[in-house]
Amino acid sequence: MKFIHLTDPHLTAAGSLFDIDVCERLRQAVASINHHHGDAEMVMVTGDIAHWGEPGAYDHAAEIFAEFTMPWYPLAGNHDKKPAYFEGLPMAPRDDGDRTCFHLETSGGLFLVLDTAIDGQPEGELDDVQLAWLDQKLSESDRSAFLFMHHHPMISGISALDQIKLENSDALAAVIDRHPGQISHLFFGHMHRTFHGSWRGLPFSTVKSTAHQVTAEIHSDLPLVSSREMPAYAVVLIDDDAICIHDISYLEEDKAFTYDRDSGKPSQSM
């Protein structure tokens, strides 16, 4: 099974942010995904659809995401604002309240999507309703499960990001621990950089934003340092015995080349 992980487009009503044309960058990602990965089962968008949360930003999102040739599923991040999020993206899944919390039965397993965003605060939190919902969904299924949310639950080493991580990660860990081995992977956004590893034995990954990035100020007390590094999305392949994740720097496709094995001479641009 193949799906796409895309995150943090940070759209604005004006179309740009920090001198980056964030709408165009998302359009280019959608075009690249449609062209190269039209066989993907879906696109998962792990939050921060808008930067300021204005209605006009969600109008852009609805128009650009509509270009996908496969289903797409967003969730809310700390920059998103409700109800503008739901008004601009009426097709976005939600629970019977205002949480972007839902599940999908996919050919690769059970996708469980959590809403860690609390309006008005940058750090994340999972309420008791969602924790109980997660526990129940895991109890009801014997399929391999994949978790999606916006905030990272672990200490990453980048202190400016760790100050705005998921606050009650112990509560999430307690639910996960009640279902040993059932969750295969955790996907999140929020980091705006390449970052992967394992948390309490659970493999995790995120991917660069389609807008601006965050530099790796590891174990420093610097405030958040942003960067105009190239954006990316991830192609995720789920098989019976492997989960493979390929980050795609979609604005650098013109840099590809082949080379002659014997001479080492570059022979052709792709």
User: Cα–Cα distance between 114 and 133 in angstroms, integer?
Assistant: 9
For residues 197 and 209, the answer to whether their CB atoms sit within 8 Å is no
DSSP secondary-structure letter at 17? B
Residues forming contacts to Fe ion in the complex (CB under 5 A) are 8, 48
Q: Indicate the residue among 8 and 115 with the shorter CB distance to Fe ion.
A: 8
Write out the DSSP string of 81-137. Answer: -TTHHHHH-TTS---SSS---EEEEETTEEEEE----BTTBSSB---HHHHHHHHHH
Supply the minimum distance, in Å, between the C-beta of residue 84 and Fe ion.
16
Extract the tokens encoding 91.
């097709």
Q: Indicate the residue among 2 and 10 with the shorter CB distance to Fe ion.
A: 10
For residues 148 and 44, the answer to whether their CB atoms sit within 8 Å is yes
Q: Indicate the residue among 46 and 175 with the shorter CB distance to Fe ion.
A: 46
Q: Indicate the residue among 77 and 88 with the shorter CB distance to Fe ion.
A: 77
Q: Indicate the residue among 224 and 237 with the shorter CB distance to Fe ion.
A: 224
Supply the minimum distance, in Å, between the C-beta of residue 266 and Fe ion.
37
Supply the minimum distance, in Å, between the C-beta of residue 193 and Fe ion.
11
**CB-closest chain residue to Fe ion:** 48
Q: Indicate the residue among 4 and 110 with the shorter CB distance to Fe ion.
A: 4
Give the phi and the psi of residue 186 in degrees, each rounded to 5.
-115, 125
Supply the minimum distance, in Å, between the C-beta of residue 9 and Fe ion.
9
Q: Indicate the residue among 11 and 33 with the shorter CB distance to Fe ion.
A: 11
Using alpha carbons only, give the angle 7, 113, 167 rounded to the nearest 5 degrees.
80
Supply the minimum distance, in Å, between the C-beta of residue 130 and Fe ion.
20
User: Cα–Cα distance between 200 and 239 in angstroms, integer?
Assistant: 23
Pick from 73, 13, 48: nearest CA to 207:
48
Torsion from C-alpha of 33, 38, 44, 49, nearest 10 degrees: 40
Supply the minimum distance, in Å, between the C-beta of residue 118 and Fe ion.
15
Supply the minimum distance, in Å, between the C-beta of residue 202 and Fe ion.
22
